[in-house]
């Protein structure tokens, strides 16, 4: 098995030192004092100019958080986090209310230029820069998906620095802004939905987020509107010793549709940085939300030094009849990933989907999966999870599918496949299946294997080189998930998989 | 996870703790003393398992054992005719077997027939403990891969009776271990079995657990099985405890090089039951086949928990479990397959399937893979659902009444698990046993 051996060696050789987003932007930041206290919570709330009710909500969460214990059930191992040794707020100083990218610090712009995802479409950035001129992109592409136009909200450390295409979105009635702005401009919507999917003190990290979240994105799609373009948020942790705690809230009114993309990167640092985000999705009758993530936080170096601790709570609520929420994730980064995008299938005939590619290399530890909670009649869900572990990494799928007594006719199909590259890594599967009524049909399947000699032989026999053969097989392995990514992310993802597993994918 | 000591003791826990200080506690033999005191200490520290402990998430013994079950003292004299009547109800009654009968936990030579030739040694554990042969002292308590779990700890603390079996050649006919329960009142009956299959031998062990209706006892049974190099084990257990009984069982299997083990368990009895099987591969090129069928009605609760530890390379494991759940019964399947870092070329497959006959039945499954080696082929599957309408329609369109059609489909579903049993006679006996359960149920329903 020379080819696989070769691949294994190359993967080992490549490892995580080649993280290409590891640059640091020397930009002046405004930091809150280190540590966490009620004063810090007040400080963050004050910075965002928040109303009294939100401050109270944060303080309540903070007080609850003090009584909570860090969960230890996941298969991840890390030194205890000192929550007092972090900055909970960092803002690039120059971004006090930029109206356009012109007003943004040029160093920041350079940063964006260096970043592949998702601000890679330079013409989009250019479009923003020329926002006063009639844009060539402004043809009536409304309703046309995959046109290559993406509205972007960029979150730099703690604050949202820029949101693009706002005007055009407003024409369609879509609200897309930072959540701090939404609190000011649309308090009634925020108040109505915030914390209704992921309650204020849902779990340890979500509670921490409720207390100290600094910014994030807010999306509101009015009734019957099909969002005219893909929406995207880009997160970056830049400042040292900071935690990033963003909060995203997406509301799809009756009959609406939105596709939302999220990308993340961070500089290379020796210390571990904390990222504890909360994402809440609400889909009302006949609405559909498609949420795609490419997570590429800094994974730490080959010896496991540094890297982002990614503790994220993502949950979607299919509140209405025939509503649909689809999570697609490509997880390649982070030293530790603790993430379970879930769907509460409350509405009749509602549908939840989870497509995941989780790649771990070096010393990365991934514990990720999903929960599909069937409450509504005839609700259905589908889970496709592909884990690839290499190097010394540990990759765990952990998921729950449950049907409550009243969720008659619920259906689930789950498939979890793991591919192991090298004999120092681990792949684990921990599914929970709870069927509480007889008319639900659940099917669960999981496999673990390496690239088999037979597969290699077959491909080689047809004249493919060793590397090509491995690439073909790995691509085939993740294909089921790849095809669910929006066009905008496809190229990016293939590149990312290449970087993460260079050598396997040619 | 340690139970917080400030938590109030439940009546069941309190009863055991009282028994630890009482006279009824077996003392010695000396070679078991340290294991016994370690087991008591483990229980004192952890108490009964509850749902906050991951392995017991779905079976909360702290909550489910509402009363105290003090260990049964010296067994009261009982009517031999009554025991014989119960033995006749064993699904294996019609087979030509050797028998070791334990009535209310105590070995009854007058009911037993131990003639199995020179290649098989059968001892009553209670009688041999004090002057135990080497093969007992070197194995008892040693085959346990998880000695600290609550069932095993309580067993080690209280066990005195049970069978110690050594098989050195090919068994002529199966040995049936029969456990009868007739005593009334809440009490615990503790039994412990040791089965040693020596190199190249072939053991065939049947176990039946039978309870007199109406009794509310707790049966705690630990079986340690060591399967030597190139040895073969066929093990079939039938659990038909009384409706109100609790059955807690812990089977530990250690497999030597080239060994072949096949263990099957069928459960229809007890209000609460838990079958734990811990299997460890000690030598390469070994095959393990675990299977089972579980047929529940009323508010029965049956938990099957497996841990298969692929510690060495080139081993194969198969698990197939089928559950038929009626009324408000609850079936649980937790199966964990671990592959250690050096255990290359492991082949592990697992399947758990539940058929829910009533809207209110519940099936919880947690099939788990833990893999640290790359050159492996492992997989698991789990399904849950009710009878396929189309299958029913097909049969009914051919003139088969609904009730019969259902029985056919259920029998076919459960039959797949019986197919794993190697002995034809035993398989037929099991089919008859399942048929009787089905008749009883489809008539009622």
Q: What are the pLDDT digits (tens) for A306-337?
A: 888 889 999 999 999 999 999 999 888 888 99
Q: For residue range A463-490, list pLDDT tens digits in order.
A: 988 767 777 777 788 888 888 877 766 7
In percent, the amount of chain A with pLDDT more than 70 equals: 74
Which of A429, A433, A447 minimises the CB distance to B364?
Answer: A433
Is some CB atom of chain B closer than 8 A to the CB atom of A470?
Answer: no
pLDDT: which is higher, A447 or A17: A447
Q: Which residue of B has its CA nearest to A391?
A: B374
State the complex-level ipTM: 0.87
Residue ranges per domain, chain B?
387-445
Rounded to 10°, the helix A2-14/A466-482 angle is 70
Q: Output the pLDDT for position A488.
A: 63
Is some CB atom of chain A closer than 8 A to the CB atom of B361?
Answer: yes
Q: Output the pLDDT for position A230.
A: 81
Q: Output the pLDDT for position B441.
A: 80
Encoding tokens for residue A498? 């290449």
Q: Which residue of B has its CA nearest to A441?
A: B385
On whether the CB atoms of residues A149 and A124 are closer than 8 A, the answer is yes
On whether the CB atoms of residues A422 and B374 are closer than 8 A, the answer is yes
Q: What is the mean pLDDT of residues A77-106?
A: 66
First-to-final CA distance of chain B: 43
Q: Which helix or strand (DSSP H or E) is residue B162 part of?
A: none
Q: Is B404 helix (H, G, I), strand (E, B) or coil?
A: helix
Which of A420, A442, A448 minimises the CB distance to B383?
Answer: A442
The alpha-helical segments, DSSP class H, found in B235-347 are: none
On whether the CB atoms of residues A21 and A265 are closer than 8 A, the answer is yes
On whether the CB atoms of residues B54 and B334 are closer than 8 A, the answer is no
Q: Which residue of A has its CA nearest to B358?
A: A438
Q: Which residue of A has its CA nearest to B364?
A: A434
Chain B residues whose CB is inside 8 A of the A429 CB are 367-369, 380
Is some CB atom of chain B closer than 8 A to the CB atom of A420?
Answer: yes
Rounded Cα distance between A53 and A133, Å, is 40
Which of B341, B359, B365 minimises the CB distance to A433?
Answer: B365
Is some CB atom of chain A closer than 8 A to the CB atom of B409?
Answer: no
Chain B residues whose CB is inside 8 A of the A447 CB are 377-379
Encoding tokens for residue A400? 């729950």
pLDDT: which is higher, A148 or B378: B378
Nearest CA among A421, A424, A397 for reference residue A474: A421
Q: Output the pLDDT for position A306.
A: 82
How distant, in Å, are the alpha carbons of A419, B75, B363, B385 from that of B15? 50, 18, 31, 40
**How many CA atoms lie less than 13 Å away from A39 in the CB half-sphere?**
6
Of the pLDDT bands very low, low, confident and very high (cuts 50, 70, 90), residue A3 is: very low
On whether the CB atoms of residues B258 and B293 are closer than 8 A, the answer is no
- Residue B423 pLDDT greater than 70, yes or no: yes
Q: For residue range B294-335, list pLDDT tens digits in order.
A: 999 999 999 999 999 999 999 999 999 999 999 999 999 999
Chain B residues whose CB is inside 8 A of the A423 CB are 341, 344, 373-375
Q: Which helix or strand (DSSP H or E) is residue B41 part of?
A: helix B30-46
Q: Output the pLDDT for position B135.
A: 94
Q: Output the pLDDT for position A106.
A: 57
CA angle A496, A226, A224 (to 5 degrees): 145
Of A110-114, A170-174, B292-296, B435-439, give the lowest mean pLDDT range. Answer: A110-114
pLDDT: which is higher, A396 or A132: A396
On whether the CB atoms of residues B225 and B250 are closer than 8 A, the answer is no
Strands B163-167 and B120-124: antiparallel
First-to-final CA distance of chain A: 17
Residue A418's contacts (CB-CB under 8 Å, 6 or more residues apart) are: A386, A387, A388, A389, A395, A397, A427, A428, A429, A446, A447, A448, A449, B369, B371
Which of B357, B372, B385 minimises the CB distance to A440?
Answer: B385
Chain A residues whose CB is inside 8 A of the B384 CB are 433, 435, 440-442
**Backbone dihedral angles phi then psi of residue A363, each to the nearest 5 degrees:** -110, 20
CA angle A113, A119, A123 (to 5 degrees): 85
pLDDT: which is higher, A78 or A16: A78
Rg (CA), chain A: 22
Rounded Cα distance between B93 and B87, Å, is 7
Encoding tokens for residue B90? 């064993």
Q: Which helix or strand (DSSP H or E) is residue A280 part of?
A: strand A278-283
Q: For residue range A375-395, list pLDDT tens digits in order.
A: 999 999 999 999 988 888 999
Rounded Cα distance between B222 and B236, Å, is 15
Q: Output the pLDDT for position B2.
A: 45
Chain A residues whose CB is inside 8 A of the B383 CB are 441-444
Q: Which helix or strand (DSSP H or E) is residue A497 part of?
A: helix A487-500
Q: Which helix or strand (DSSP H or E) is residue B409 part of?
A: helix B402-418
Q: For residue range A263-301, list pLDDT tens digits in order.
A: 766 666 667 788 899 999 999 999 999 998 888 788 887
Chain A residues whose CB is inside 8 A of the B375 CB are 423, 450
Of the pLDDT bands very low, low, confident and very high (cuts 50, 70, 90), residue A124 is: very low
On whether the CB atoms of residues A158 and A89 are closer than 8 A, the answer is yes
Is some CB atom of chain B closer than 8 A to the CB atom of A440?
Answer: yes
Does B381 sit within 8 Å of A444, measured CB to CB? yes
How distant, in Å, are the alpha carbons of B87, B171, B198, B248, B415 from that of B124? 19, 19, 19, 21, 35
Encoding tokens for residue A65? 């958080």
List the single best residue of B369, B376, B383, B386 to mutate versus A (max A Cβ within 10 A): B369
Phi and psi based region of residue B355 (left: phi greater than 0; alpha: psi -120 to 50; beta: remaining): beta
Which of A427, A431, A433 minimises the CB distance to B371?
Answer: A427
Is the bond preceding residue B29 a cis peptide, omega within 30 degrees?
A: yes
Q: What is the mean pLDDT of residues B82-86?
A: 90
Is some CB atom of chain B closer than 8 A to the CB atom of A408?
Answer: yes
Q: How far is B250 from chain A (nearest CA, A)?
A: 23
Q: Which residue of B has its CA nearest to A407?
A: B359
Is some CB atom of chain B closer than 8 A to the CB atom of A415?
Answer: no
Strands B188-197 and B218-227: parallel
Does B369 sit within 8 Å of A433, measured CB to CB? no
Rounded Cα distance between A217 and A181, Å, is 9
On whether the CB atoms of residues A250 and A282 are closer than 8 A, the answer is yes
Q: Which residue of B has its CA nearest to A406?
A: B359
Q: Which residue of B has its CA nearest to A389?
A: B374
Q: How far is A70 from chain B (nearest CA, A)?
A: 15
Q: For residue range B395-407, list pLDDT tens digits in order.
A: 999 999 998 999 9
Rg (CA), chain B: 21
Q: Output the pLDDT for position A389.
A: 87
Q: How far is A105 from chain B (nearest CA, A)?
A: 48
Q: For residue range B187-242, list pLDDT tens digits in order.
A: 999 999 999 999 999 999 999 999 998 999 999 999 999 999 999 999 999 999 99
Which of B361, B364, B379 minimises the CB distance to A434?
Answer: B364
Is some CB atom of chain A closer than 8 A to the CB atom of B383?
Answer: yes
Nearest CA among B185, B235, B180, B234 for reference residue B212: B180
In percent, the amount of chain B with pLDDT more than 90 equals: 81
Q: Is B88 helix (H, G, I), strand (E, B) or coil?
A: helix
Is some CB atom of chain A closer than 8 A to the CB atom of B366?
Answer: yes
Does A418 sit within 8 Å of B382, measured CB to CB? no
Nearest CA among B262, B254, B92 for reference residue B175: B92
How distant, in Å, are the alpha carbons of A197, A409, B302 from that of A402? 17, 12, 19
Does A420 sit within 8 Å of B374, measured CB to CB? yes
Does B358 sit within 8 Å of A446, measured CB to CB? no
Q: Is A302 helix (H, G, I), strand (E, B) or coil?
A: coil
The alpha-helical segments, DSSP class H, found in A48-178 are: 52-66, 106-114, 122-129, 166-171
Does B374 sit within 8 Å of A425, measured CB to CB? yes
Rounded Cα distance between B185 and A206, Å, is 50
Residue B259's contacts (CB-CB under 8 Å, 6 or more residues apart) are: B197, B227, B228, B229, B230, B231, B232, B233, B283, B286, B287
Of the pLDDT bands very low, low, confident and very high (cuts 50, 70, 90), residue A149 is: low
Residue B222's contacts (CB-CB under 8 Å, 6 or more residues apart) are: B144, B151, B152, B155, B156, B159, B191, B192, B193, B249, B250, B251, B252
Q: For residue range B130-150, list pLDDT tens digits in order.
A: 889 999 999 998 998 788 899
CA angle A253, A254, A259 (to 5 degrees): 60
Q: Output the pLDDT for position A366.
A: 93
Q: Output the pLDDT for position B282.
A: 94
Of A74-88, A436-450, B368-382, give the lowest mean pLDDT range. Answer: A74-88
Encoding tokens for residue A100? 């356009």
Encoding tokens for residue B165? 């079996």
Does B379 sit within 8 Å of A448, measured CB to CB? yes
Q: For residue range A225-242, list pLDDT tens digits in order.
A: 998 888 888 776 666 666
Rounded Cα distance between B197 and B170, Å, is 10
Give chain A's mean pLDDT.
79
- Sign for the CA dihedral angle at B139, B142, B148, B149 comes to negative
Chain B residues whose CB is inside 8 A of the A441 CB are 383-385
Encoding tokens for residue A290? 């498609």
DSSP B170: B
């Amino acid at each position: 098995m020379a080819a696989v051996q070769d691949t294994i060696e190359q993967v080992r050789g490549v490892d995580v030192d080649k993280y290409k987003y590891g640059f640091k932007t020397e930009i002046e930041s405004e930091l809150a004092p280190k540590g966490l206290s009620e004063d810090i919570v007040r400080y963050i709330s004050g910075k965002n100019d928040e109303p009294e009710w939100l401050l109270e909500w944060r303080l309540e969460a903070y007080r609850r958080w003090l009584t909570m214990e860090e969960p230890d059930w996941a298969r991840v191992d890390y030194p205890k986090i000192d929550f007092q040794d972090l900055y909970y707020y960092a803002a690039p100083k120059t971004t006090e209310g930029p109206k356009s990218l012109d007003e943004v610090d040029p160093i920041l712009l350079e940063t964006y230029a260096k970043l592949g995802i998702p601000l890679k479409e330079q013409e989009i950035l250019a479009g923003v820069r020329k926002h006063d001129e009639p844009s060539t992109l402004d043809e009536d592409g409304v309703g046309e998906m995959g046109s290559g136009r993406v509205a972007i909200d960029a979150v730099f450390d703690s604050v949202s620095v820029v949101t693009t295409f706002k005007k055009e979105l407003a024409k369609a009635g879509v609200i897309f802004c930072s959540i701090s702005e939404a609190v000011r401009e649309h308090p009634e919507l925020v108040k109505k939905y915030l914390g209704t999917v992921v309650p204020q003190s849902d779990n340890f990290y979500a509670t921490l987020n409720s207390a100290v979240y600094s910014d994030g994105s807010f999306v509101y799609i009015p009734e019957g509107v099909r969002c005219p373009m893909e929406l995207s948020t880009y997160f970056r942790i830049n400042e040292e010793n900071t935690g990033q705690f963003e909060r995203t809230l997406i509301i799809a009114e009756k009959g609406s549709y939105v596709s939302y993309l999220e990308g993340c990167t961070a500089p290379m640092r020796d210390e571990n940085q904390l990222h504890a985000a909360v994402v809440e999705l609400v889909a009302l009758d006949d609405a559909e939300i498609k949420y795609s993530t490419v997570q590429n936080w800094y994974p730490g170096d080959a010896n496991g030094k540094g890297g982002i601790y990614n503790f994220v709570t993502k949950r979607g609520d299919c509140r209405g009849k025939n509503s649909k929420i689809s999570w697609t994730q490509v997880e390649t980064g982070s030293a530790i990933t603790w993430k379970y995008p879930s769907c509460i299938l409350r509405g009749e005939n509602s549908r939840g989907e989870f497509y995941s590619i989780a790649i771990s290399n070096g010393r990365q530890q991934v514990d990720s999966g999903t929960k599909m909670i069937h409450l509504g009649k005839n609700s259905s869900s589908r889970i496709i999870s592909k884990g690839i572990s290499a190097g010394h990494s540990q990759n765990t799928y952990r998921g729950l599918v449950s049907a409550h007594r009243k969720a008659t006719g619920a259906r689930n199909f789950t498939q979890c496949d793991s591919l192991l590259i090298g004999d120092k890594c681990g792949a684990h599967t921990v599914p929970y299946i709870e069927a509480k009524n007889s008319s639900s049909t659940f099917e669960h399947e999981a496999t673990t294997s390496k690239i088999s000699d037979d597969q290699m032989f077959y491909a080689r026999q047809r004249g493919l080189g060793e590397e090509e053969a491995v690439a073909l097989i790995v691509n085939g392995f993740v294909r089921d998930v790849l095809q669910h990514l929006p066009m905008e992310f496809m190229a990016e993802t293939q590149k990312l998989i290449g970087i993460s597993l260079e050598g396997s994918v040619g | 996870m340690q139970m917080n000591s400030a938590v109030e003791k439940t009546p069941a826990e309190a009863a055991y703790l009282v028994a630890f200080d009482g006279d009824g506690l077996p003392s010695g033999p000396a070679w078991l003393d340290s294991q016994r005191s370690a087991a008591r200490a483990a229980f004192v520290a952890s108490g009964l398992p509850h749902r906050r402990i991951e392995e017991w998430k779905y079976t909360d013994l702290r909550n489910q054992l509402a009363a105290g079950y003090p260990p049964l003292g010296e067994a009261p004299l009982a009517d031999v005719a009554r025991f014989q009547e119960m033995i006749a109800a064993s699904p294996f009654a019609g087979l030509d077997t050797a028998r070791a009968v334990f009535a209310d936990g105590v070995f009854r030579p007058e009911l037993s027939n131990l003639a199995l030739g020179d290649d098989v040694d059968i001892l009553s554990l209670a009688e041999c403990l004090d002057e135990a042969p080497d093969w007992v002292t070197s194995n008892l308590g040693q085959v346990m891969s998880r000695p600290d779990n609550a069932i095993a700890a309580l067993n080690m603390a209280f066990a005195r009776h049970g069978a110690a079996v050594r098989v050195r050649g090919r068994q002529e006919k199966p040995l049936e271990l029969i456990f009868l329960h007739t005593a009334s009142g809440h009490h615990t009956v503790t039994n412990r079995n040791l089965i040693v299959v020596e190199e190249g031998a072939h053991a065939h062990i049947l176990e039946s657990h039978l309870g007199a209706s109406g009794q509310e006892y707790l049966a705690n049974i630990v079986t340690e099985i060591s399967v030597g190099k190139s040895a073969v084990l066929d093990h079939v257990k039938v659990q038909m405890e009384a409706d109100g009984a609790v059955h807690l069982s812990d089977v530990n299997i250690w497999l030597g090089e080239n060994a072949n083990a096949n263990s099957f368990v069928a459960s229809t009895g007890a209000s609460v039951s838990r079958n734990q099987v811990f299997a460890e591969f000690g030598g390469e090129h070994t095959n393990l086949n675990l299977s089972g069928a579980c047929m529940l009605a009323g508010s029965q609760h049956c938990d099957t928990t497996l841990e298969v530890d692929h510690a060495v390379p080139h081993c194969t494991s198969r698990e197939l479990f089928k559950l038929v759940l009626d009324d408000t019964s609850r079936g649980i399947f937790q199966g964990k397959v671990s592959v250690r870092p050096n255990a290359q070329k492991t082949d592990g497959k697992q399947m758990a399937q539940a058929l829910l006959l009533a809207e209110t039945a519940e099936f919880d499954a947690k099939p788990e893979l833990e893999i640290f080696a790359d050159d492996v082929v492992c997989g698991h599957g789990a399904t849950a659902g009710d009878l396929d309408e189309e299958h029913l329609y097909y049969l009914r369109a051919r003139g088969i009444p609904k009730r019969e059609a259902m029985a056919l489909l259920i029998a076919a579903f459960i039959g797949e698990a019986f197919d794993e049993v190697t002995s034809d006679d035993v398989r037929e006996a099991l089919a008859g046993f399942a048929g009787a359960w089905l008749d009883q149920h489809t008539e009622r329903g």
